[in-house]
Structure 1
Amino acid sequence: MPDRPYFVFLHDSLGCISLWKDFPIRMAELVNFNLLMYDRIGYGKSDPFFSTTRNNSYLETEADFLVKILEKLNIEKTILFGHSDGGSIALITAAKFPKYVVGVITEGAHVFVEDITINGIKEAVVSFQTTKLKQVLEKYHGDKTENIFNAWVDTWLSYRFRNWNIEHLLPSIQSPTLIIQGEEDEYGSENQVDAIVKKVSGKSIKKMIPKTKHSPHKENAASVLKEVGDFISILFP
């Protein structure tokens, strides 16, 4: 479908293509769009990390890498769908490389660090050590699992990362945005959503999903599909 945009799916800090399940295909078929998914370096079936040490600009580096992929594939028109870290990457990409982005959809995206995020990650550490979380992740990431988990934890729990903030980039986002978050998100408050909606320059829509935590596309797919369908109908009537 050469005349249709590409939905580009950007996974979370512990995710990969396989963990999206069939949601991206359902969404692309709903609106008759092309589809692009990929495992970032270190995740899923991609190569291992070059280093597990990250600086505060690691998400901007991922946005730069995304644009290299788009250039390589000659993709010029995208709607970015990002979950958690992927949502932050989507926002950064739209701010820095607006010519590639006609719309942004985020789930549980972060633009600054909150105590709720820190506490949620600390609870995830306990789960990784005491439940089957590690074994579940190993099904998707294999022997890269510990590096993926440790890179996430060590970065977000570090003292230097408490100052991480990308709010200054938001006014550069001209494309329409749909900002989704679960009302019971354990990794971020509604303040994240409000900051994005208020500071982007393009049209923005806020959607809080009731009785839903950090992964609305898994926990309440029907609601997310409806919101996305409505959003796309505005962009492409």
Structure 2
Amino acid sequence: MASGPAEAPRDADSGVLDLGGQRLEYRRAGPAAGEGATILLLHEGLGSADGWWPFADVLAAATGRPVLAYSRAGYGRSSPVALPRPADYLEREARAVLPRLLDAAGIRDCILVGHSDGATISALAAAAGDPRIRAAILIAPHVFVEDVTLAGVARARRAFEEDDLRERLAARHDDVEGAFRGWSDTWLDPARRGWDVRADLRGLTVPLAVIQGTRDRYGSADQIEAVRASCPQAEIHHLPGIGHVPHEEDPAGALRILADFIGRSCA
């Protein structure tokens, strides 16, 4: 869920999408929208649009498809949000915000690629049945709360309060305090201990790939097995020796999986 700032996409198109009440920053790479299904990148719990670069440029080049990444409200340069976040903030993002973002961006067909919290949003959005979503790739998703996840969030909280995580995140977020507290406080709220969206995924019928590293410190293999149980069509990639951010730790390997799956699923 937590990672350091990545290089900003210097050559990518960028701007702001107005959703009415929310202004969300975006970055683009690859050909113009409309030239094949757009790959829509959804960031992790402490991420932003910028955090997908330079991987987004490579993904656009390898697939020949438009790529768009955006920062959810409360992250990056997007509008702030009121805290505390509600316990179902991921569900709200998937069902209420994402369809409006597709409208605002003029996206008629898309492939969702989500990481961590972004993977959960991607799964829930695909399960909601929006016909514009043609496939989904989930990188290190969370579909229920487990102790390893909470331990990871608690470590990040200590790093934010005692080490240099605050300074590293400040390079990516206008409201670094709001971005961090909105994520950490919601996950560590005892009232959220029973959060579980496995039943919601049973409506997911589009092609689905799930990627997780065997050394993921924010989730165990039980997460991907839970997705497989709810979505029998899921293609599973459990990567030896890889942690929570496969597309940063092994970008070439992650690119092969994504490009191959997208080529087969959305020809």
TM-score range, shorter chain: over 0.9
- Per-residue CA shift, 1:148-199, capped at 9, x if unaligned? 1111111111111111111111110010111001110001000000111221
Aligned length: 234
Query: Which residue, 201, 223, 237 being the options, matches 1:207?
Result: 237
| Structure 1 position 152 matched with structure 2 position 198 | no
Task: State the partner residue of 2:10.
Answer: none
The answer for the alignment partner of 2:157 in structure 1 is 125
Q: What SS class does the counterpart of residue 7 from structure 1 fall into?
A: strand
Shift of 1:236: 3.6
1:216 partner letter:
P
User: Does residue 24 in structure 1 map to residue 56 in structure 2?
Assistant: yes
1:188 corresponds to 2:219:
yes
Q: How far apart, CA to CA, are the structure 1 residues paired with 2:242 and 2:106?
A: 37
Offset, 1:88 = 0.4
Mapped to 2, the partners of 1:72 and 1:151 lie a distance apart of 25
User: How do 1:3-152 residues align onto structure 2 when only pairs under 5 Å count?
Assistant: 3-49=35-81, 51-63=82-94, 64-142=96-174, 144-152=175-183
CA displacement at 1:74 relative to structure 2? 2.8
CA contact under 8 A between 2:115 and 2:141: conserved in structure 1? Answer: yes
- Amino acid across the alignment from 1:215: V
Q: What is the CA–CA distance in structure 2 between the aligned matches of 1:205 and 1:115, rounded to whole Å?
A: 25
Question: Would you say the 8 A contact 1:116–1:186 is kept in 2?
Answer: yes
Deviation sequence 1:18-56 (CA, Å, 0-9, x none): 11121112112211111111111111111211x111222
Matches of 2:126 and 2:222, distance apart in 1: 20
Distance in 2 between the 1:25 and 1:60 partners? 29
Structure 2: gaps (5+ residues) = 1-31
How far apart are the structure 1 equivalents of 2:162 and 2:266?
Answer: 47
Q: 8 Å contact 2:35–2:65 — kept in the other structure? A: no
Asked whether the equivalents of residues 98 and 174 of structure 1 are also in contact (C-alpha less than 8 Å), the reply is: no
* Contact 1:15 1:43 survives alignment (8 Å): yes
Structure 1 stretches lacking a partner, 5+ long: none
**C-alpha distance in structure 2 between counterparts of 1:123 and 1:193, whole Å:** 23
- 1:108-131 CA-to-partner distances (Å, cap 9, x unmatched) read 110000000011111111111222
- Look up the SS of the partner of 1:109 in the other structure: coil
- Cα pair 1:98 1:173 within 8 Å, conserved: no
Tell whether 2:220 aligns with 1:169: no
Asked whether 1:219 is paired with 2:249, we answer: yes
Equivalent residue letter for 2:101:
I
Identity of aligned residues (%): 33
How far the C-alpha of 1:72 sits from its partner, in A, is 2.5
Whole-Å separation in 2 of the counterparts to 1:220 and 1:208: 13
Match of 2:16 in 1: none
Which protein has the bigger helix share? 1
Cα displacement (A) at 1:3 = 4.4
- TM (norm. structure 1) is 0.95
Contact in 1 for aligned 2:40/2:112 (Cα 8 Å): yes
Counterparts of 2:105 and 2:169 in 1: how far apart (Å)?
30
Residues 6-25 of structure 1, C-alpha deviations (whole Å, 9 max, x = no match): 10000011000111121112
TM-score, structure 2 as length reference: 0.84
Distance 1:72 1:233 in 2: 26
